[in-house]
Structure 1
Amino acid sequence: MSRPERSVHIAKSMKVIEWLKTEILDQIANLYKGLHHANRSLIQDSLASLVVATYVLAKRVGFSYREVDQAVTRKLREAARERHQLEDWYGDLSDLEEYISKR
């Protein structure tokens, strides 16, 4: 890749990363709106968009989707082991870990 092409590629990558960061913030705002108005469709759409944007951002900064899944699994196991309240009260963390491991 020539010097000008490399500069354009780097600039484009940086622009995409910045866009993804704003997309995440926008979806968090939409999630709050959905929760405030009890709008299930908006809540679901915002959560899905957050997951997608997170995976794509991870890829743009150098992580594979598999690495993200592995990090999430490690985080879930660690939190469950440390008796996180969500795990103690609802078992959410072990449920999510089981779901991810079956994908």
Structure 2
Amino acid sequence: MSRPERNVHIAKSVKVIEWLKTELLDQIANLYKGLHQANQSLISDSLASLVIVVYVLARRVGVPYRELDQNVARKLREHTREGHQLEEWYGDLSQLEEYINKR
């Protein structure tokens, strides 16, 4: 790759990462709106978009999907083992871990 092409590639990558960061904020704002309005459709759509943006952002900054998945699974195990409040109160983390492991 020639120097000008490389510079364009780097600039484009930076621009995409910045766009993904704004997309994260936009979807968080949509999620808050959905929660405020008790709009299940907007809540679900925003959460799905957040998951997608997180995966794409991870890839853009050099974290492979598999590594991200492995880190999520590790975090779930750690938090479950350490008695995280969401686990203690609702069992959310072990349920999520079970769901992910069955996929």
TM-score range, shorter chain: over 0.9
Over residues 63-93 of structure 1, what are the superposed CA-to-partner deviations in whole Å (9 max), with x where a residue is unaligned? 1111110000111111111101110111110
In structure 1, give the amino acid aligned to 2:64: S
Over residues 17-47 of structure 1, what are the superposed CA-to-partner deviations in whole Å (9 max), with x where a residue is unaligned? 0000000000000000000000000000000
Q: What's the TM-score, normalizing by structure 2? A: 0.98
Partner in structure 2 of residue 23 of structure 1: 23
Superposed, 1:37-76 pairs within 5 Å as 37-76=37-76
Name the CA distance, whole Å, in 2 between partners of 1:96 and 1:79.
Answer: 12
Partner in structure 2 of residue 92 of structure 1: 92
Q: What's the TM-score, normalizing by structure 1? A: 0.98
Name the CA distance, whole Å, in 1 between partners of 2:63 and 2:102.
Answer: 21
Moved runs in structure 1, 4+ residues, more than 2 A? none
- RMSD (CA atoms): 0.6
Name the CA distance, whole Å, in 1 between partners of 2:12 and 2:82.
Answer: 41
Gaps of 5+ in 2: none
Is 1:7 matched with 2:7? yes
